[in-house]
Structure 1
């Protein structure tokens, strides 16, 4: 996968990057970074990612100004995919309590299916991962997809739901049925109450 020079070192710039639109290169870098994150976790270095991309770190920094920017871009893209999956799963559900409970359950399942994200949610990495999740598009996605009650999304409620999701990803709640029951009993009522309070 890595382009090599004749002497066996990583090429300074991958051939596929030449004559390719910047946005297409960035898309591919994010995709490759996802593979690296799956293997090494959220703390994979820019050097690790550059090696997988097949370019120098200097070239990688021309496309992303740092690891955090690249992490946030990756999380934002995954958040959009997960948001679409959640929306499809709860489409047509009129009961706000059922909708919210199922949205959280589906979000948990979707994150666990994403190899890079699953690697991030370990007890050792939970702090930095939750910080990334709370500073990214996950909050916006949660506010609009999970928490729209009468057209009124709640940012604070979204942040709290994300903290619950992160907690359950790091310390799962037994079986999926157990998690669903905990969410329905303890999370959904308090979140909906906070959204409907004037």
Structure 2
């Protein structure tokens, strides 16, 4: 254990350091096999220090999922700029497909969607605040006229659709794009859909 773990004014970075350690632990041990002891060891801190920042494993998972989701979405938004040459439906389909591909190729994210972790993922997808603001902002980009509560509801539904495709993937990318086109795009983009 590193006794100077919080020395040198790094206290404000402690939570980030813990979450960085979680990434490695998930890759090495899976999600369901990780407890607070393994995280503390990987972060080089005591369990007491870990509990100062995260009251329990659920809080740790929520913080990790929120941070990693923000980074993933920001990366996808940055890499796939809005184009006037493509319809909003095509842009939305491309971004959702990119989310699926990005999660699957990122080891510390892909591990969450292995069958052994399905219960944890379902619980996190239902946790308030995990990705609510991001999902609502994502929807608002395509339906700016929606009220914030309506955008939040649509965003939570989109998250559930994406999580289900990650947990139970289609047979190939074309099938998944067809499912997204048929079941997600009309709901997000249809101005006549009443959701308030």
TM-score bracket for the superposition, by shorter chain length = 0.7 to 0.9
Partner of 2:132: 139
Q: Which residue among 49, 57, 60 is the counterpart of 2:50?
A: 60
Conserved 8 A contact 2:36-2:47 = yes
Partner of 2:38: 48
Conserved 8 A contact 1:99-1:146 = no
Partner of 2:109: 117
C-alpha distance after superposition, 1:73-117 (max 9, x if no partner) = 111111111121232244224532122212211111222233222
Asked if 1:23 corresponds to 2:29, the answer is no
Unmatched runs of 5 consecutive residues or more in structure 2: none
C-alpha distance after superposition, 1:17-50 (max 9, x if no partner) = 3334212122111101111122223331001101
Asked if 1:38 corresponds to 2:31, the answer is no
Per the TM alignment, residue 168 of structure 1 is displaced from its structure 2 partner at its CA by 0.9
C-alpha distance after superposition, 1:151-198 (max 9, x if no partner) = 436112111111111111111112222211221122211332377537
Partner of 2:120: 128
Conserved 8 A contact 1:83-1:142 = no
TM-score (norm 1): 0.82
Taking the aligned partners of 2:95 and 2:156, their CA distance within structure 1 comes to 15
Taking the aligned partners of 1:172 and 1:193, their CA distance within structure 2 comes to 25
* Matched pairs, number: 187
Q: What secondary structure sits across from 1:124 in the alignment?
A: helix
Unmatched runs of 5 consecutive residues or more in structure 1: 1-10
Q: What secondary structure sits across from 2:91 in the alignment?
A: helix
CA gap 1:50/1:129 in 2 versus in 1, 3 angstroms: same
Taking the aligned partners of 1:100 and 1:14, their CA distance within structure 2 comes to 48
CA RMSD of aligned residues (A): 2.3
Q: Which residue among 160, 169, 172 is the counterpart of 2:169?
A: 172
Conserved 8 A contact 1:100-1:147 = no
